[in-house]
Each structure stands twice: as structure tokens, then as C-alpha cells.
Chain A
């Protein structure tokens, strides 16, 4: 399998280019808005318990007075039961507070997505640098492993693995499973980048002056690949969020009564016409988050890694 490796980005370490990038980013409206949205959702996730206690409901608490048992548990009142008591209305059937569930859902969804991303990035970068720098047998083995992992029908495998496991923490497992199939993509990018950096003059100079491989990797190669890695990272986060949602949608995600956006969307699809708000609210959250991360990632890529449009 061949890949188109991005040409050298040539982002040397030092504060100059980074400051440049920051100014460049700050000039874009889309970046400022995306940052705002991301920050808002991150805050919401971090402050979930506080926020829901402000609203007066825990995400697991039933409110039978808010639903009509004779109509299959439809929320009472317009717009899915939005009221002073329930800010975003309630879940049909159980009467659980949607606001509390959405903010706690943000916590679970973002936690899984971000941790999985971290795993992917760390593992992928390490593998990519190792393969690119050491070459030879290390490269062969790692590249084969990348090819093999990429040949796995990943969604099908994730579903299978999630449904197999029983007595484990679902959140940890989901993170691990999503991470497991994500690393080869970034590893390839980093490998290509490393290959092109390996024979740069400054790296050769470091080698000649007697630096050990560890020192060269961390001091000379890593900063060189950092730009594309950061851009790539932001770009894969939406995919991770969507994957968490997909797994929860298919019923192999988090366990009840824990909410996550995917789980909420999955349950609310059945009510899309009888209680549209219930369906729209988590879908909108998912949409906004994915959109914000995508825009942010696009901008970062343009600035930090201008020529890798094809990665």
C-alpha cells in the first residue's frame, strides 16, 4: 500500500513560527467562534454536576409528574415539556430532566472522544517516529501492523468487541476500542514526516556531534512533526465523537442510566415525530461540537501544516 506522504512542513522549533500561527489563527472568525463553542461544551462537561444541581435535577432522577403515562409517557406541556422546572424539557416515559442528561452526556461523550484521541495520538506518533527514524526491520514490522489494522473493518470490529465484553467499565473499554483502530492513520503521517526530517542537516549535525537516538528523537524530530500532529489531532476528534455516538446508537455503548449523546440520540430517534425536541437537543449538541472541532482543525492545518491538504 502506498500513501502520499506530506512533504516536509519545515516547522522548526522555536517561538517565532508558533507566535505567527497564533496571530494567523486569531484573525479568523471561524476559529474564534469554534473555540468559543468548544470551550463552552468543555466547560459544560467539566461543570456537569454543578450545572445540573443548579437546575435541580440529577440525570437519573425520574419525574413521573412530567409525563403522561396514558400516551406512552409523552412529556406534558409543549416543546417536550420545557418549563421553568425542566429547562430543556424531559425525556419521555421516565420524565428525567433533559438538561441534566445533556450536560452529563457531554461529560461522557467528550471524555471518551478526547481520551481515545490522546491514545491514538500518542501511540500513532510514537509508532510513526519509530518506524520513520529507525527504518529497516522496525519499519517493516510497524508498517505491516499499520496495514493490518487498517484492513480491519473497524466499526464492525468495535461493535463486536463492545458486545463481547460484559463485566468491565464500558467507558474505559469504549475508549480503548476506539483508540485501537485509530492509530495507523496518524502513524503514517508522522512516519512520512520523520523520513523527510531524518536527513536534514540539523539532524545530521546532531548525530555527528554525538547525540543519542533518544535525544535526537525528542529534541530534533518530535518538534518537527508536532505541527501536523496537532492539526491532525483536532481533525480526528470529530470522528471520535461520532464513533462514540455510533456505538452508543447501536446499543453497545455506555450502560444505563449513564447518559451520553449517542445513547440519547439512539433513544430519541423513536420519538422523532412525537417529541421532536427530545431528538433535536442531543443531535444539535453533537452537530455543534463536531462542526466546531472540524473548523478548528481545518484552520490549524492551514496554518501549521499548509501543504498537507491531502493527508
Chain B
């Protein structure tokens, strides 16, 4: 088991370095010149050269990459003399735009994206699993049909549409909720939740539908298994059978799905954050892209990849807990 985890962690690092290399190459051919962008409206050639050198952009690509990768572990110093900036492990460099350490920027935005993702996840799991299990237990009845058609329709709604309708209905017309504006959880949990409720709903509608369909299918399969029938025959209450036996065994595919979705979302729901104006990682990325802020772009990409890889690892390990048949 420990050996397995160790091997997987090594793989994670390899994957991250590969992703960093690809990102680096892509942005090397980017037409935007961060030095020229920083230099401003009227920029002399001499000043441009100086700025480029300061940003380290005069180095060959492999050199910049090597500096970046070693810098993550050993820390880096940017600039010189009185203006030198130094960052320690984990050093992802400094934003061209506002000279803040990329790591600090990411950690500053992460609570927003994490709040968004986790809140939405709770909501969609609740909605999705309830709908899915209900449908499965009433297989081929009107309830089942209605729930499933509803789920497919909800999943097909463009997220922009759902979001704008929510904004219009709940904020503009009903005046029930404020325009979403991030309030840290520690600051005021109630405010935090009421501000995030709309984005949660918008995301949850989209994902809940998928989970409803998935959980219905696996529930139906599991409930047909002999051991469930045995349990029922033994006279166990239906509730116990469904929750303790059916749901647990049906969890495996849901877990896979959940791991991938959550991993992807933690690093920012670009569209949702942009629709609701939430200062999360997706927003940070989008902003960095339009200003050509390469260190931030690279940082977000790496963080997002790390979440996905780690989530997959976690899911694989959880299998062992959920499904007694899996052993490493």
C-alpha cells in the first residue's frame, strides 16, 4: 500500500513537470510580448531591452524552464539591488502585472474557488443522489420518468442561461439575495453562504443531473444483486438495505465521477466565476491571460493539474475503503 502510494506520488510529480513543460512551450510562441506590455504606451527600444532582461525573457527557453523548475524547490530572486524580490519554496515566480508572488496569489484566490466548488458539490450530491435513488426505487414509474427527463433537461441547459435566469429571478425581481460578492467564511458564515448560493445553484443544477442519472443506473444494478435480495429476504428494513448496502456498493462509479469533477472545479470554474464576478482562481487565470501574465498562467495551470492528479489518486485510494474487493 505505502509502496503503491509512493509510486503514484512520483508519477504525480512527473505529470506536473510534463504539464509545466507543455505550458511553457505554448506560451513561448505567444504573440504578446509581456515586456512590451509592461513597458507601456511609449517605449524606447533601449528601455524594452532592459525590461526584457529584467524579466529574464532574454534567456533561451530551456534555461527559463530550468530556472522555473529548480526555483520551485530552491526559491528564486528576481531583480537586483534594493528592488530584489525573493520567494521561498514553493516559488512559482512573480506576477508581471502586480509583482506579487504567484503562490500567494493562488493561495489568496483558492478559498473562493474552494468555497464555490465544495458548496456546489454538497448541493449537487444531495440533489443528484436523492433524485437518482428515488428514481431507482420507483423504476419505470412516472416518478422515475419525470425525474430522469428533468435531469436530462437540466443538464442540457447552458450554464450561462441558468445563471442569468437565477440572477434575474432571485436578485433583480425577487430581491432575495445580494449580487454575489465573496465574503470569507470566517468573516460571517451566513453572509458567505447567502452570497454563494446562486453560483452554487447554477453549478449544482448542471452536475446534479449527471449524478442523478449515474446513481439511478448503479442503484438499479446493485438492487438486483443477489446479496441485496438476501438482505431484503432476511427482513431488514428497506431503508437499511438501501442506504447501507445498496448505496455503498453503488458508490464506486459515483466516486470516480466525483473525484474528477471536484478536482477540476477546485482550480476554478472559469465560466461560473466569470458570470458571477467571483474573484476565484478561474477569474485570476482569465485575467492573467488577457494581460499576458505568464507566471500566473503557468501557476494556475499547475495548480489545476495538481488538483486533478491528486483527486484521482484520492479516488483510487478510497476505492479500497468503499469497495472491500479492491486491494493494492
Contact = CB atoms under 8 A, between A and B. Distances in A.
Contacts of B264: 153, 155
23 contacts: A1-B312, A3-B256, A4-B252, A151-B309, A152-B308, A153-B264, A153-B267, A155-B270, A157-B301, A160-B23, A160-B289, A160-B297, A164-B26, A164-B30, A166-B31, A265-B161, A269-B164, A283-B161, A291-B152, A291-B156, A294-B155, A309-B218, A310-B214
Given A160-B289, A250-B270, A310-B217, 6 more contacts: A148-B15, A150-B308, A155-B270, A156-B270, A160-B26, A265-B161
A250 B286 contact: yes
Interface in B147-161: 152-153, 155-158, 160-161
Contact of B157 (A157, A272, A287, A295): A287
A298 B152 contact: yes
Contacts of A283: 158, 160-161
A245 interface: yes
A50 interface: no
Contacts of A291: 152-153, 156
A310 B286 CA distance: 34
A141 to B, nearest CB: 14
A273 interface: yes
A269 B264 CA distance: 25
Contacts of A242: 158
A279 interface: yes
Interface string A141-173: 000000110111101110111011010000000
Contact of B271 (A2, A249, A295, A298): A249
Contact of A310 (B23, B168, B218): B218
Interface of B: 11, 15, 18-19, 22-23, 26-27, 29-31, 152-153, 155-158, 160-161, 164, 168, 172, 214, 217-218, 221, 252-253, 256, 264, 267-268, 270-271, 274-275, 285-286, 289, 297, 300-301, 304-305, 307-309, 312, 316, 319, 326
A89 interface: no
Interface in A1-44: 1-4
Contacts, number: 111
A246 interface: yes
For the complex of A and B, the 9 pairs showing the least CB-CB separation, nearest first, are A153-B304, A309-B217, A291-B156, A290-B156, A310-B253, A283-B161, A272-B164, A151-B15, A151-B309
A75 interface: no
A224 interface: no
A227 interface: no
A164 B164 CA distance: 29
A273 B160 contact: no
A287 B161 CA distance: 9
Contacts of A279: 161, 164
Contacts of B256: 3-4
A286 interface: yes
Contacts of B268: 156
A92 to B, nearest CB: 16
Contacts of B312: 1, 150-151
Interface in A88-125: none
B3 to A, nearest CB: 16
A153 B164 contact: no
B9 to A, nearest CB: 13
Interface string A267-281: 001001100000100
B316 A153 contact: no
Contacts of A148: 15, 18-19
Of the listed residues A157, A242, A246, A310, the one surrounded by the most CB atoms of chain B closer than 10 A to its CB is A310
Contacts of A238: 156
B251 to A, nearest CB: 11
Contact of A161 (B15, B26, B286): B26
A136 to B, nearest CB: 19
Nearest to B220: A309
A283 B156 CA distance: 10
Contacts of A250: 270-271, 274, 286
